[in-house]
Structures are given as structure tokens and as C-alpha cells.
Amino acid sequence: MNTLFMHCRPGFEGEVCSEIAEHAARLNVAGYARAKPQTACAEFICNDAEGPERLMRELRFSQLIFPRQWARGAFIELPETDRISVLLEHLAQFPTCGSLWLEVMDTNDGKELSNFCRKFEAPLRKALTGAGKLQDDASKPRLLLTFKSGREVFVGLAAADNSAMWPMGIPRLKFPREAPSRSTLKLEEAWHHFIPRDEWDERLHGDMTGVDLGAAPGGWTYQLVKRGMLVTAIDNGPMAESLMDTGLVQHLMADGFTYKPKQPVDWMVCDIVEKPARNAALLETWLGEGLCREAVVNLKLPMKQRYAEVRRLLDRIEEGFKARGIKVAIGCKQLYHDREEVTCHLRRLDLKRR
Ligand SMILES: C[S@@+](CC[C@H](N)C(=O)[O-])C[C@H]1O[C@@H](n2cnc3c(N)ncnc32)[C@H](O)[C@@H]1O
């Protein structure tokens, strides 16, 4: 079990390698990262068998930026027939697991394999339960089988509360037909990722106010309005009429980089496609000056050194707040609905609700 296996968006394998290698070096876990381009996965091969478990114990999965899923384990080969017996034999050394997910990579080959997984899952589940290897218990580790082909599978484990929320880290969110743009799913996914479900009613509710910078046509504003908030939408472009009809939206044609609300608001969200340093500066201003208590802002990724650049900006934000004595929780993730960008979430921890 010396391998930590990670899924990611195709094309971001190098970012996963840089990110995990940096954490491993900091935590003194010896090993090396490797990945092939466009495979939507990467591995960290540890020198010691305990390495992957240590990484998973020391790191919170939700704090990783580029990995969409992770598991510790090993690849095994499967025969053409009776794959279940071979899997059961391999799993003899595994603990009883609390859940089972069958996964594939987010590539065209992976999509073709998902049919095979669907058919294979029921008989496998039955066999594992019969052999005492699977019980419905969230406190037990999750068994993650990632199929590279029908003949090769990564058999891995991850804690259910310290790994992806959805198989392969891909959320199953339904596009609301009334929403003005597909981007709406980005903000909804961000909330799922950054705000525990049992805190939604307290942190996203109808007595709140929000500002949406770069709002048109209104996919993100739609999400704020859906939670009942009063929203100021900043954009020179037109907002969807259906949103304006709710009476909850004030549309201002202004520059999102200079606009400031007269009264502090609860939420600021920003989906303006700009240089990442400019959007990061918005976060520093809005959170730092107490103009909002929580914010979700997209950071467009540079062409090269994408992990290094994001890390540099996040470190700068964090150090800046620390120097000013401002307590802020900072999260950053390449969400499934993000392409060449990552999504940041910041929350002031030292401001009471007004
Ligand atoms: C990606 S779109 C936003 C989509 C929106 N979040 C949605 O869900 O419908 C980016 C928007 O930012 C706006 N924009 C670009 N620069 C801006 C600026 N300096 N101030 C305000 N809005 C800006 C553009 O007009 C565009 O409508």
C-alpha cells in the first residue's frame, strides 16, 4: 500500500504532482510524484508502506486544491473472468469497509468503462458483503476501486470524512431550468464544497445581503436569490429579466474593481475573468475592510506554474491578514465546474453577524 492515487481534471496532472510533493516534503514523507499527461490522475509513490496513510492522516482532503479524489493502495491486475475472486483474495488483508465506490478516470476511456462498472457493482457488492468485507458504516474506511480498464484496478482506501464528497469528486448537481447561465452550478458546487450542509441555513439565508461582481447574466445572483438574499449585481452587461422580476436584485452598471457597498454585506461573490492577482486583491480588500463576511471568488489560472502561482497568491493573502491581526479561514479548490480556474472561499472568523 505504498501509493497515494489521486484523480484530477484532465490536463492538471502536473499541478497535482507539485501540490502533493510539496506537502510530502513538508511532512517528511519520502517518495516521488508521477503522472502521464491527460490521464486525469497522478500518483505519489512513497518509500515506506506507511507513507500514504501518514499523508492522509496529516492532510485534510478538502484543503487540497487540485486533487478531486484520493485513495491509498495499489494497482492489481484482474483476469478476463471471475474478477471477483481475485479482488476478494486481494482484499483479505483489508479491514472491513463501510462503503464501496467504483470509479473511473474523467477521460473518454473512463467514460466508456463506467458501463462496465455499473454492471459489475451489484455482484461485487453482494460478494463483499457475503465475505464480511463490506458493511453500511460511515465510520469505517471507504473502499475505492478505480478501474483503468477491465483488467487493471487501483484498490484503495480513504476515510469517508476525509475524501471526496462524490465518486471521482464529480458532483451530481441538476441545472435549474430557471437559472440564466450554466455558471450557476459553479457557485452551488462551491457552497457544497466550502460550507457543511448543516450550516447552510445559518450562513446562507433570507435575512442576508450579497454583492455579485461581474454578475451578468445572473447565474451566481440566481443562487443568492434562491436562498432569499437581497443582491446588488454589478456588471455593465444585462441581467436576466426573470431575476430582476424577483424584486430582490439591484443592478448597477459599475466597475467591480472599484465598487464598494455603502453598508457591509454578508456575501461577496465574483466571477470576473481577470488577472488572478487582481481578483486576489479584491478578496484582501473586501474581507480586510470588513465589507463582507464571506466571499467566493474565481481565480483564473496562468498558463504555466499554475500550482505555484495559486500557492503564492494564497500565501500572500494569508500572510497579509495575519499581519493585520484579521482572522480569516481560506479555502481554495479546482471544482468540477471550474476549467482554467480555481475557486476561493474566504470567511471572516472574527466578525459577528449584524
Ligand atoms: C463569466 S461572466 C459572469 C457570469 C455570471 N457569474 C453568471 O453566472 O451568469 C463575467 C462577467 O464579468 C463582467 N465583467 C468583466 N469585467 C468587469 C468589471 N471590471 N466590472 C464588472 N463586471 C465585469 C462581464 O461583463 C461578464 O458579464
Distance 212 CA to ligand 1 centre (A): 9
φ, ψ for residue 81, nearest 5 deg: -125, 165
C-alpha cell at 297: 471568488
Active site residue 352: no
pLDDT at 353: 65
Find the catalytic residue in 140, 148, 226, 300. 300
The C-alpha angle 236, 272, 310, rounded to 5 degrees, equals 165
Domain range summary for the chain, segments of one domain joined by +: 3-169, 184-348
User: Does the C-beta of 291 come closer than 6 Å to ligand 1?
Assistant: no
Helix (H, G, I), strand (E, B) or coil at 124: helix
Fold adopted by 184-348: Rossmann fold (3.40.50)
Distance 216 CA to ligand 1 centre (A): 6
Predicted TM-score (pTM) of the model is: 0.96
Q: For residues 79 and 102, what is the distance between their CA atoms, to the nearest angstrom?
A: 18
Distance 209 CA to ligand 1 centre (A): 19
Q: What is the mean pLDDT for each group of 10 consecutive residues in the chain (354 residues)? A: 96 98 98 98 97 98 98 96 95 96 97 95 97 96 96 97 97 96 98 97 97 98 98 98 98 98 98 97 97 98 94 97 97 97 97 70
pLDDT at 227: 98
Q: For residues 33 and 13, what is the distance between their CA atoms, to the nearest angstrom?
A: 10
User: Does the C-beta of 235 come closer than 6 Å to ligand 1?
Assistant: yes
Fold adopted by 3-169: Alpha-Beta Plaits (3.30.70)
User: Does the C-beta of 156 come closer than 6 Å to ligand 1?
Assistant: no
